[in-house]
Amino acid sequence: MAFSLPNIYTHKNLKFMIAVPLVLMLLGIYMSQYLVLDSSLSGGVSLTLQANTTLSASQIASQLSSRYNIPAPEVQISTGQVLITVASNKSLSEAESDLLLLYQYHANYTQYVLNATNYKFALSKDQSNQTLQVLYAHAQQGANSSYAQINNYLGLETAALRPFIGNVSANRTSADSILSSAQTFYNNASAKYQSNLVSAISNVVPFKSYSYQDITVLQSSYFLQQLETIIIVAFILISIIVFIIFRSVVPSFAVVFGAANDMIVAIGAMALFKIPLGVASIGGLLMLLGYSIDTDVLTAIRILKRHEGTPEQRAYGSMKTGLTMTLTAIVSFAVLFSISYIEYVPTYYEIAGVVLFGLIADLATTWLGNASIILMYANRKNK
């Protein structure tokens, strides 16, 4: 006797079914605060080694972490090459932030000095002008304050860089000399860190040559902002297109809610299972977005646009077809996730993990949440 799914939409408990994806959404939102970023979005360094090694990616990562205290290295191996990515060094990241602020206050100081010079020249021709006197005093005060901040952030930077450059003395004769010292200290510390890192890696993976790429915190922040913009724009465009298709707020909301919920639950699962958010996992989220929109739109069209049988029967037919598609995809991505985890392939691991957890969430979101919302709308519309 063939197994047959019951038609869950005939039991008139649609409101209770909608509660399930809502609970999953709340859990996803709560867990998302524990999400970590990989080096592509948090900053770090990447080394591409020209080397052949008998060690696996997981063995290399384990030795670098245990023997040399390198935190969470990501390793990928291809023919004749080993790619190692390491998260940003905390001391260098702090120093970089201090240096950027020092640049900012140096620019402010230069502008205040220029303004003060101009006001002083103007006062030499009109000494009784009170407005010029106030502006000149303000410019001098701003220059003094900015100069004090330049000194302050130089001190903070040198303190952060002490593990690499030790105790150093800076030339503080002028704002320009302070900036020059700060730049020199940071460059020397970065070179020292690179030398230490390459030396540690060479003890684990001997190589013929290598290339070194530093992803700064500023660069990674820019990447993250751009990726956030891409996702927001994607949702806006999808919302517009879905509204054009249905010409109604409720089904359009149901479709967009389904896609958003799948992504939120997937992000929560990433945090739970320590899958970092990076460029690869962002790609997985966009894949998940497309898949979710596809199933939600097809379900809404079948319930609202077709006329054979009752809305409940049409929803049931969509569920049987959709479950087959989704379960097949879940099995495929589960296999990819398992293999990439065992073989330690971070890119595939991130993509497969995001899509896998999102598809599992989609089972509840689409067939308990999205379909129920559209059914309630269809039944109210037909009365």
State the pLDDT at residue 211: 86
Per DSSP (E only), the strands in the chain are 44-50, 74-78, 81-87, 209-215
Which candidate, 99, 115, 71, 76, places its Cα nearest to that of 344?
76
Q: DSSP letter at 368? A: I
Structural domains of the chain in order of their starting residue, each with its CATH number: 13-39+217-382 (1.20.1640.10), 47-215 (no CATH)
| Integer CA distances (angstroms), 155 to 51, 172, 183, 187, in order | 41, 11, 13, 16
Question: Which stretches of the chain score pLDDT less than 50?
Answer: 1-3
Closest-CA residue to 97 (of 191, 195, 186, 176):
186
CA proximity to 281, closest of 362, 332, 348, 235: 348
- pLDDT recorded at residue 187: 93
What's the pLDDT score for residue 317?
Answer: 86
Please give the Cα distance from 303 to 367 (Å, whole number): 12
User: In the numeric block, which tokens belong to residue 203?
Assistant: 């003890």
Which pLDDT value is given to residue 51? 85
Region for residue 343 given its phi and psi (left: phi exceeds 0; alpha: psi -120 to 50; beta: otherwise): alpha
The pLDDT value recorded for residue 175 is 94
**CA 354, 359, 360, 364: dihedral to nearest 10 degrees?**
130
Task: Report pLDDT digits (tens) over 62-86.
Answer: 898 888 888 778 888 877 788 888 8
Instruction: Quote the pLDDT of residue 225.
Output: 80
Per-residue confidence (pLDDT) for residue 355, from 0 to 100: 92
